[in-house]
Structure 1
Amino acid sequence: MRKAGVPYPVMPAGRTDRGVHARMQVVSVRLPPCYTSEMLAERLPPHLPPDLGLCVARRPPEGFHSQWSAAGKEYRYRVQLGGTVSEAWRPFVMDPSLEPRLVGTPIKPERVAELLGAAVGRRDFYAFHEHSSLRKPRTLESATLHELGDGLFEVRLRGDGFGRYQVRYLVGSTLLTAASSLSEEHFRAALESGTAIPGLKAPARGLVLWEVYYPSDKDPFPPEERARAPGLPSAPPFSHHPEEADARAA
């Protein structure tokens, strides 16, 4: 920011683990007098690393704060449950056959979807996040599994807040349970009462912070920008279908 002429610190909507990707990370920053959002959009990109882009810069509604105004987030996690991981998607997908606790155990997508559904609701997810995160009730509004094609599936989790590593522990432990390497009784007890379980933290590479949500009176982003922000890469991990990504790679 300083190289772009902005001496003030930035405040992101949240943190992402090393190795996790973000399709939509929202950042607040105070601009110097006479410095416009258009100037920021022009001056900042040349100073960003090649794997980090600025899609939209604008003056938000009064009182907006990237973190404290947020009403929720959606995360998406890609996992290969059949077939072979394509080369285009390999850096962005969890391959259960490489996980020691899952290797050689079949995982049925219907079973994964069923267990994900059991996690929906307002509950204590203490068994599914690092204890450095505050223990408090959190609402998981939806947890669904979507087939993208060629054996690639996408877990979509939307909620009002997530503890550290919560998505990765929830996905990994769901896969363990679907593979019968963790009992369903223990999995459901962990959901209902926060009882500790020998869960699995799924690798970071499969996870994407897909979207950050704000109340309508605070949201700086119109629906069309949320659907496809200007300059958002269309290659993995931001594309929806593996066959489209493979065609672009070819």
Structure 2
Amino acid sequence: MPRTPVALWIWYLGGTFRGFQRQAQGPTVQESLENALREVGVPAAVMPSGRTDRGVHARMQGVSLRLEAGDSAEALAARLPAHLPPDLGLCVARKPHPSFHAQWSAEGKTYRYRVQLAGTVAPEWRPYVMEVAAEPRLAPHDITPERFSELLRMAEGQREFSAFHENSSPRKLRTLESATLHALGGGLFEVILRGDAFARYQVRYLVGSALLTAAGQLPEEQWRAALEQGERIPGLKAEASGLVLWEVRYPAKLDPFTPAERAAPPGLPEGPPFLGAPEG
């Protein structure tokens, strides 16, 4: 009998893990998830929508796997959560459309980045925020939300973003549909970036270099040239701790997750870093 495809929606707090992908020195999200699956009788390899780096969190990571004949997504959802570590959880397990693949079916992603521009970081937010005052290249300089927002908006559109990602990622056109800034109160702000695809470190270099430009430490001409011509700049890679993979989007006919689940994910922890905010 053929094995049963299953789509998982998992969340995790990245501070505990050395990234998503299994590696010699763990723990990683993949290692922890596959170990838990083996404990409940599922010796399966998992395929995510994409990798996240060390320290990056995920409110929604899509995962594909296959179950042995006779098992079901419903049965897996009942027995898996008790075997997951505290910083990794399951929101939904469902049998998807036969053509669904967590990575290749994805048509876009949304990332959110939290940054403390002024004031003091609240204790509950400290593990999940980049604090401008703690970054040597930014600390002595005033960064206004208006200027920061203006620079982020300049990054919207279709381009290669080659000045803002690692060489290990292929050079190709990517579309940043929106890059918006939202106040969360107390000097804490959230950047929401929505696009069709993101290269490795792209969000962190965009956010960090926009902050550097807003602080007057990178000329706007260089920021524009990096965006428009791909010219290399002495940019800033923002800390991993502030970054959340917020949502993975799939075509409606393939999406295994309902609009209601996307609006109010079942089993998602309350409090930082998974709090709602206006859409970008």
- Shorter-chain TM-score above 0.5: yes
Question: In the alignment, is residue 53 of structure 1 matched against residue 89 of structure 2?
Answer: yes
User: What's 2:6 paired with?
Assistant: none
| Contact kept? 1:148, 1:240, Cα under 8 Å | no
| Contact kept? 2:91, 2:267, Cα under 8 Å | yes
| Contact kept? 2:204, 2:238, Cα under 8 Å | yes
Question: In the alignment, is residue 10 of structure 1 matched against residue 46 of structure 2?
Answer: yes
- Structure 1: distance between partners of 2:217 and 2:85: 41
- Structure 1: distance between partners of 2:171 and 2:248: 22
User: What's 1:124 paired with?
Assistant: 160
User: What's 1:247 paired with?
Assistant: none
Residue 223 of structure 1 deviates from its aligned partner by 1.1
Question: In the alignment, is residue 112 of structure 1 matched against residue 144 of structure 2?
Answer: no
User: What's 1:200 paired with?
Assistant: 236
Moved over 3 A (4+): none
**Percentage identity across aligned positions?**
68
Listed as ranges, the matches of 1:203-222 within 5 Å are 203-222=239-258
User: What's 1:97 paired with?
Assistant: 133
Question: In the alignment, is residue 76 of structure 1 matched against residue 112 of structure 2?
Answer: yes
SS in 1 for 2:150: helix
TM-score (norm. length: structure 1): 0.95
Question: In the alignment, is residue 237 of structure 1 matched against residue 273 of structure 2?
Answer: yes
- Number of positions where the alignment pairs a residue of Structure 1 with one of Structure 2: 241
User: What's 2:216 paired with?
Assistant: 180
Residue 67 of structure 1 deviates from its aligned partner by 0.3
Residue 8 of structure 1 deviates from its aligned partner by 2.0
Aligned-residue Cα RMSD (Å) equals 0.9
**Hey, which of these two has a bigger chunk of strand by percent?**
2
SS in 1 for 2:146: helix
| Contact kept? 2:57, 2:244, Cα under 8 Å | yes
Residue 240 of structure 1 deviates from its aligned partner by 3.7
User: What's 2:24 paired with?
Assistant: none
Which of residues 32, 39, 42 is equivalent to 2:68?
Answer: 32
- Structure 2: distance between partners of 1:240 and 1:63: 31
Q: Which amino acid aligns with 2:269?
A: P
SS in 2 for 1:8: coil
Residue 49 of structure 1 deviates from its aligned partner by 1.1
TM-score (norm. length: structure 2): 0.85
